[in-house]
Homo-oligomer: A and B are copies of this chain.
């Protein structure tokens, strides 16, 4: 057994010889960014060996200079003696607080406001899952000596008119002492099951009808956003968000699914989302709003199909294997205690229904709140998160597909790519080969995030630094362009001396190629989906862009690189975190929950991987902006 000490946390762990350093870090609950889940392709799990020797493979992601300093890829390294390992800032997910407000697109309050607007605009009804009532019971006597539960039921019948009252064993066991300690004056929290039946969720001493709360949650592959709503005032009284702690097990759903198939992997992923992400967020909100978890009776969760499988600890591997079968699409409302979620243990947990393995509850929630199902106009809805999902339709029909864009928009597969956190270059302008950059919350750039890459590629194209295949043009008069011994070109966005950083921040032809394939997946997805119902792009009345990437996204540049179709700019609308808005609707409206079930059933899923013309479309779209420039008449004008 050898000892591994991680700096700066000083966490120690004993390991066997030849154990993989990335696995060791996970075992020690050290979060290391590893979007590719340890296959050496992303180069994100760079760590520095401060003391001791390791057995490590060479990687293109480690420069000679870095190698000298002791940097290795954790995933390519075996432990062969006692070592001390430093987790650098760029690799540590939790070191930098994520810039959540910008990243998740919308604060909870905005999401809830949009939900309320959607409720009214689309004729949905406000109807809460749980209600409360204050009840004074008759004191038992020898002449009126019916059982406690019968006495309670009798009073409920008289006061509220419900004939049947369901009471769980847990509540019954609280009842005898509670009734006597409160002198038979109590408050019940209840759920209406049918016209004549209610189910009790809680029984409390005295009058507590002034306390009734609910939580809406959006679980993204990358980040999780929550908001706490006071149901009596209709206000958001707290909100919180953080990275999804599952990130340490892989950046995208595919790598997480693979991890879930390993021994105890599913358990670890479930723990990461519940114990390490959701419950801390919930408790943070309860503390800030000064309320008790027992007064929270409902939680609504929107998330993609994989996220919801992992939340419910359901084996997800068949989502990934052809023919891509989810275990479930639609769950009934579950009891919080069965998931270990930190709300009232009898509270309800609602998860949005999914359409298919790669079109999940985040999308149905988004479609619900965006009102596409109630629209006369043809709406194109694009959710740009870790992957890209697309919906096209109106009140008559809705088509949907998932694009395998991968994590490129979050920096995955890009050598200097990173998420939209502190130090990320989020905007780029290039004037005469010289870049101007906007950095998130810092003067020193660390890497470049999705919106920055879109700007960068568009600007490089317009500046003539790259051609329409994304290749760096030779013989440009600038020191920012250079080629390595294999002839692979790169463009330096930030020299290390300019900013006093350790390495130049560059984008190379491999990065550009990766990104072009990601944007090509989105565009060809849009095109194929619309074509599949016999429409063309000109039929689109509105484009709603939702999701994590959205906020700092430059629409013109997105069109310019051929990610979005070349439509009039006023057709595009950024609608923020529509998944969270939908989730908010879920907590205030049973009719919204009923509606989204209908929506999920109505949506027709198109499996792009087997759609006949998709592959050709995708190949044509892997060009700037497109092989057929006539699809982008405005960009054609700009480029000519």
Q: Footprint of B on A, CB under 8 Å?
A: 140-142, 144-150, 166, 169, 172-173, 175-177, 180, 312-315, 317-318, 322-332, 334, 338-339, 354, 356-357, 607, 610
Contact = CB atoms under 8 A, between A and B. Distances in A.
Contacts of A329: 146-147, 149-150
A315 B177 contact: yes
A14 to B, nearest CB: 33
Contact of A173 (B315, B322, B356): B315
Nearest to A313: B173
A281 to B, nearest CB: 22
Contact of A326 (B147, B330, B607): B147
A327 B142 contact: no
A328 B148 contact: yes
A325 B607 contact: no
Closest 8 CB pairs of A and B: A147-B329, A147-B326, A149-B328, A142-B323, A145-B323, A148-B327, A176-B327, A176-B315
Contacts of A175: 327
B332 A166 contact: yes
A327 B146 CA distance: 9
Contacts of A334: 169
B332 A173 contact: no
A332 B199 CA distance: 12
A305 to B, nearest CB: 9
A141 B610 CA distance: 12
16 contacts: A142-B324, A142-B607, A145-B324, A145-B357, A146-B325, A146-B329, A147-B326, A148-B327, A149-B329, A169-B331, A172-B312, A175-B327, A176-B314, A176-B317, A176-B318, A180-B318
A467 to B, nearest CB: 38
A607 B312 CA distance: 52
A314 B142 contact: no
B169 A356 contact: no
A327 B149 contact: yes
A79 to B, nearest CB: 33
Contacts of A315: 173, 176-177
Given A149-B328, A175-B327, 17 more contacts: A141-B323, A145-B323, A145-B324, A145-B356, A145-B357, A145-B607, A146-B329, A147-B329, A148-B325, A148-B328, A150-B329, A169-B331, A169-B334, A172-B314, A172-B327, A172-B331, A173-B315
Contacts of A169: 312, 331, 334, 338-339
Q: How many copies does the complex hold?
A: 2
Contacts of A339: 169
A150 B607 CA distance: 18
A332 B610 CA distance: 51
Contacts of A322: 142
A267 B357 CA distance: 46
A176, A314, A326, A332: residue with the most chain B Cβ atoms closer than 10 Å: A176
A323 B607 contact: no
A147 to B, nearest CB: 4
A356 B326 CA distance: 51
A30 to B, nearest CB: 29
Contact of A328 (B147, B318, B325): B147
A480 to B, nearest CB: 47
A338 B345 CA distance: 14
Given A172-B312, A315-B176, A142 B610 contact: yes
Nearest to A328: B149
A323 B140 contact: yes
A607 B147 CA distance: 15
A148 to B, nearest CB: 5
A274 B124 CA distance: 49
Contacts of A173: 312-315, 327
A264 to B, nearest CB: 15
Contacts of A172: 312, 314, 327-328, 331
A452 B453 CA distance: 97
A326 B142 contact: no
A172 B332 CA distance: 12
Contacts of A323: 140-142, 144-145
Contacts of A338: 169
A293 to B, nearest CB: 21
Contact of A325 (B145, B325, B354): B145
A294 B147 CA distance: 34
A325 B357 CA distance: 54
A186 to B, nearest CB: 14
A50 B470 CA distance: 96
A169, A175, A177, A314: residue with the most chain B Cβ atoms closer than 10 Å: A169
Given A169-B334, A338-B169, A607-B145, A140 B325 contact: yes
A630 B189 CA distance: 61
Nearest to A305: B147
A172, A177, A327: residue with the most chain B Cβ atoms closer than 10 Å: A327
